[in-house]
Every structure is written in C-alpha cells, then in structure tokens.
Amino acid sequence: MAAKQVGLGRGLNALIKDSPKPVESPVPNPAPDDGGVVQLPVNQIHKSPWQPRRHFDPGALKDLIDSVREHGILQPLLVRKVADGYQLIAGERRFRAAQEAELKDVPAMVLEVSDPEAVEITLIENLQREDLNPIEEAEGYQSLANEFGMTQERIAERVGKSRASIANALRLLSLHPSVRDWVSEGRLSSGHAKVLLGLDIPEEQEKIAQRALKEDLSVRALERIVNQIKRPTRKSRVSRDDLPHAHLLQLSDQLHQTLGTSIRLRSTKTLSNGKKVPGTIEIDFYSNEDLGRLLHLLGIDDPL
C-alpha cells in the first residue's frame, strides 16, 4: 500500500524561498533538470537533533517502507552540509523508510542554512503536519518560543494555525509528567488532557488520569468527575492533616494538664486544591470563676 505523501506546506515553502537557498552539492550524479535536487548516499546523512517527533506509528511507517521499496523516495529530503556528511532538516519518516528499505541513495535538496534556520525549518515542517501527538506539538511550539523568542501570534502565523490553538497546545505542558507521557503514548486523548487541566494540582491530575485509564472513561465522563471535584461544597475532597495524629494527642494532653479542663484540638487541613481548612481549639469552662481562672492562665485580664 503506497503511503500518502504530505507536502511541506505553504508556510515552509515560503520560509525556504525567503531565506535559505538550495546550493549545489559536491556529491556527483545530481538528477537532471531537478531544480537543485541531488542524489545523496544514505549513510552520509545524519538525523536532526531538533526533531520534535519522538513517536512514529509502526503501521504507517511500514506502509511507507513498502511504498519506498516499490517506488523509491518521491519527495526529496531537506539537508544541509556538515563536517561529517549531511544533517537532515526535514523528512525524518522518509529517511527512516529509506534505511529500512536498504536504499543506497536518496533524493535531497542541500540548503545553505545556519543552526537557527535549520532548527526553525525542522520545527515548522513538522508542526505543519497532522501526525505529531499533542505533547510533541506543544513542545515544538515551546521550542520556537524559546529558540527564537517567537510570540504565540508569530508561531500561529508561521505554522498556519490560530493563536488560540497555539495557546491551548502550550497549556498541555503544565500537566503532570505522567499525564503528559500517557497523552504522548495515545493512552489519553487531547480531549482528556484539556479536561484534566481544570485541576490545579498536578498530583490530582495524575490520580484522576489513572482512574480514567483504569475505567476507560470517555472525555464527557471525565469532565463530569472533574466538575464534581471542583465544586466547593464537595465533602470528600482529598485532604490531609497538617499535624500527625500522635502529635495532636500529645499537645491535647499537655493543654489539659496546664489548663485543668477538657480541651479539643483539631489540626489544620490542606485540601487537594491547596486550600487550607482552619484548625480549632475548644476549651471547656463551667462558671464565671472558671473562665476567669483560664483567662489568668492565658495571660488575659478579665475587664469585668
């Protein structure tokens, strides 16, 4: 089955047209009348260190390998000359398929570009495609922001998407690391991820994501659970006492001996959303005289 070819995209073509230019390669035997396309030995091409895609679908890659065995590489790779050969800029899947198909040479365009230009082309070429997983896509946008100081508006313009879609993608990077891994692996969808972003505490995101995986929850079902958790009246929110129980008992006993009356001491609590529930101290007294005695012990003068 022949794999569907994906073009470089109008944004990337414009990038290549406006700045880096194809240069003549020293490698012999360029294809005739090819407009800058030459044949390069596969073993002289090295993968890009800036490739945003980490996960390659095995089935789709096998289809591409079969197509390459039958038809060869139909769309040239983009490379640049480096000290020990050529560095791949765009065409990672085609390059992998060529290696698996044991091709000796592949068609390529050799571009004369700097490190920053190579990074930008690699990222934009991949981000214009539809087969990056949501986390890879978000990391690619973040790289454009970090490497080139691009605003979200500028990134949206370069990759041909809306600014809102860029902003929503970048929010995924605030998820708990385990949740990001599950989204990358396809175990959770981007819809699940966006719902989990409604939980402010990463550990709570992880806990609810584990439940979603275990119970195979739909996005709608997960949304109901998250909305219930966020309700302020919910009684069963995950919480913890800020003081150990044994320490509370010890303090209660010391207060009882010091004040000579019954007391009840409750620790402050921290809810799963980070909010605090106040602690309390209740001191029993049985008459005005008893109250006066307690106030004196606490260093308070009774004005009455």
Q: Which residues are catalytic?
A: 92
Residue type, 126: N
CB atoms within 10 A of CB 64: 25
- Cα three-residue angle 191-197-201, rounded to 5 degrees: 145
The counts of H helices and E strands in the chain are 13, 11
Tell me how far apart the alpha carbons of residues 187 and 178 are, in angstroms, rounded to a whole number: 11
Beta strands 85-90; 263-266: pairing state: unpaired
Q: Distances in Å between the alpha carbon of 242 and those of 41, 214, 230, 278, 279?
A: 65, 31, 22, 10, 9
Q: Distances in Å between the alpha carbon of 297 and those of 24, 150, 261?
A: 93, 65, 12
Beta strands 45-46; 85-90: pairing state: parallel
